[in-house]
Amino acid sequence: MTIPYKIYIEENEIPRSWYNVRADMKNKPAPLLNPATRKPMTAEELGGVFCTELVKQELDNDNAYIPIPDEIVDFYKMYRPSPLVRAYCLEKALDTPAEIYYKFEGNNTSGSHKLNSAIAQAYYAKKQGLKGVTTETGAGQWGTALSMACSYFGIDCKVFMVKVSYEQKPFRREVMRTYGANVTPSPSMETEVGRKINAEFPGTTGSLGCAISEAVETAVTNEGYRYVLGSVLSQVLLHQSVIGLETKAALEKYDIKPDIIIGCAGGGSNLGGLISPFAGEILRGENNYRIIAVEPASCPSLTRGKYIYDFCDTGKICPLAKMYTLGSGYIPAPNHAGGLRYHGMSSIVSQLYDDGIIEATSVKQTDVFEAAQKFARVEGILPAPESSHAIKVAIDEALKCKESGEKKTIVFGLTGTGYFDMVAYQKFNDGEMTDYVPTDEEIAASLAQCPKV
């Protein structure tokens, strides 16, 4: 059977339930803790910050399948199913016996997979009768995705955008504004925590952790608003499982059995979503795969962080999460381009990594952009810097196959496009891109600030 360049499942094959990998995990991810009492957060406590239905999903370690509401499926139909692409041209360019596939999530205006969870979170906010939601965004994909989702359901969207991105990525900001969102550079003077950080660090260009604090504060101090988050949380990985479920369905359509599954990892939303159904098979003893999480050498939470409870935000107002972390004060060096800059990692991914279900590796950004350029030139798609971390490792694995003569099947997640990352590409094109790898001392100093739990 000839495998087409793009494997599409049918519109009526779009998953009708999300898959909750926690149900199959023997070691469940550790619960979120109340930062004051250090006791597990209750649904009631979480309900002050998050939408009620999303809290239920956040705390659900038992149900393997959670139905996707029709309204969300309808929205999915506008840009899903996304294609599983056979990288024929990349294979040829690498002269490898390996078969390479990528699940491409970039064919929507948000430019990434983030829309899968954004639309779900906006839906539950709308259903709860809320006026709107608040959030933070770094590179901008999440903010864009949420703006689109809120515009679709007609609710307010308030985005705190890390100041350096707000200034360097005015076009992302304009996309959000086109969808009707209110975008504020963070740290701002609109929140208590923003004013405090601005006073403490005058001229700071912001961080994700700080923007999170501002968004949370705004949600809890304004009637009818809740906070939503684009990664890290278990609910987000749940929504993102649509990626993995579609990937599995597409592979099965052509009887393809992957050997290696690769995803980039920042907070873990794309990786967790892509691998969930495959990890589930491993956990249930039904199948085996090598699963590789790829993170930037400049923000290596899995490969060089510690698996402990930490703050999720700079302002330390969010619940504590047990995760692989570099410490909540850790900020990647300014030469780090693109996303994947969060100091911690999703509790689910952290636990799967700790249990040896998945591997992790880190790569340098000049190598990542080299892989991105190679990929763009043969496969046509200009990838996001984030996604290119997975490309880099997929190429490496394919080249190992060339050496060994093995015909492995490699699947990776191409989470998005790089159309709003041209400043970074320009640096690379001009030969001015540099690498940064934190020293052990830097990481240790940052980790020393973690709470003692």
Closer to a second copy at the Cβ: 79 or 436?
79
Query: Pick from 77, 284, 402, 407: which binds a second copy (CB under 8 A)?
Result: 77
In the complex, what is the shortest distance from the CB of residue 369 to a second copy, in angstroms, rounded to a whole number?
A: 9
170 three-class SS: helix
Rounded CA separation 284/451 (Å): 35
**Segment lying near a second copy (by CB under 8 A), choices 78-86, 263-271, 400-408, 435-443:** 78-86
In the complex, what is the shortest distance from the CB of residue 182 to a second copy, in angstroms, rounded to a whole number?
A: 12
Do 271 and 349 form a contact (C-beta atoms < 8 A)? yes
Which residues from 301-320 bind a second copy, rule CB under 8 A? none
Closer to a second copy at the Cβ: 121 or 417?
417
In the complex, what is the shortest distance from the CB of residue 372 to a second copy, in angstroms, rounded to a whole number?
A: 8
Beta 320-325 vs 306-311: how paired, if at all? antiparallel
Rounded CA separation 358/256 (Å): 21
Closer to a second copy at the Cβ: 61 or 335?
335
Choose among 60, 76, 62, 59: nearest CA to 16: 76
For the window 359-388, what string marks contact with a second copy as x by the rule CB under 8 A? --------------x--xxxxxxx------
Rounded CA separation 189/199 (Å): 10
Contact status: 256 vs a second copy (CB under 8 A): no
In the complex, what is the shortest distance from the CB of residue 139 to a second copy, in angstroms, rounded to a whole number?
A: 14
In the complex, what is the shortest distance from the CB of residue 112 to a second copy, in angstroms, rounded to a whole number?
A: 13
Binding-site size, a second copy (CB under 8 A): 45
In the complex, what is the shortest distance from the CB of residue 364 to a second copy, in angstroms, rounded to a whole number?
A: 19
Tokens standing for 18?
């999300």
How many CB atoms are closer than 10 A to CB 405? 8
Choose among 420, 81, 54: nearest CA to 237: 54
Contact status: 8 vs a second copy (CB under 8 A): yes
Beta strands in 138-253 (DSSP E): 156-162, 182-186, 225-227
Which residues from 180-199 bind a second copy, rule CB under 8 A? 180
For the window 96-125, what string marks contact with a second copy as x by the rule CB under 8 A? -----------xxx-x--------------
Rounded CA separation 185/54 (Å): 27
Helix intervals (H) in 254-290: 269-283
Closer to a second copy at the Cβ: 89 or 220?
89
β-strand partners of 225 = 132
In the complex, what is the shortest distance from the CB of residue 453 to a second copy, in angstroms, rounded to a whole number?
A: 42
In the complex, what is the shortest distance from the CB of residue 395 to a second copy, in angstroms, rounded to a whole number?
A: 17
Contact status: 16 vs a second copy (CB under 8 A): no
Tokens standing for 360?
């992790």
In the complex, what is the shortest distance from the CB of residue 239 to a second copy, in angstroms, rounded to a whole number?
A: 17
Tokens standing for 217?
């504060």
In the complex, what is the shortest distance from the CB of residue 164 to a second copy, in angstroms, rounded to a whole number?
A: 18
227-240 in b/e form (b: 16+ CB < 10 A) is: bbbbbbbbbbbbbb
Which residues from 403-422 bind a second copy, rule CB under 8 A? 417, 419-420, 422
Reported as half-sphere exposure (CB side, CA atoms, 13 A), residue 407 has a value of 3
End-to-end CA distance of the chain: 56
Query: Pick from 342, 425, 433, 438: which binds a second copy (CB under 8 A)?
Result: 425
For the window 139-178, what string marks contact with a second copy as x by the rule CB under 8 A? ---------x--xx-----------------xx--xx-xx
Query: Pick from 4, 40, 48, 67: which binds a second copy (CB under 8 A)?
Result: 4
Query: Pick from 160, 179, 278, 330: which binds a second copy (CB under 8 A)?
Result: 179
The residue written with tokens 């094109």 in the block is: 429
Do 318 and 331 form a contact (C-beta atoms < 8 A)? no
Residue 84, Cα to own-chain centre: how many angstroms? 19
In the complex, what is the shortest distance from the CB of residue 71 to a second copy, in angstroms, rounded to a whole number?
A: 12
Cis omega (within 30 of 0) for bond into 187: yes
Tokens standing for 71?
């309204």
Closer to a second copy at the Cβ: 152 or 160?
152
In the complex, what is the shortest distance from the CB of residue 65 to a second copy, in angstroms, rounded to a whole number?
A: 24
Using CA atoms of 152, 73, 61, 217 in order, give the dihedral in degrees to the nearest 10: 0
β-strand partners of 18 = 66
Closer to a second copy at the Cβ: 149 or 197?
149
Beta strands in 165-289 (DSSP E): 182-186, 225-227, 260-264
Residues that bind a second copy (CB under 8 A): 4-6, 8, 10-12, 75, 77-79, 85, 89, 107-109, 111, 148, 151-152, 170-171, 174-175, 177-180, 373, 376-382, 417, 419-420, 422-423, 425-426, 428-429
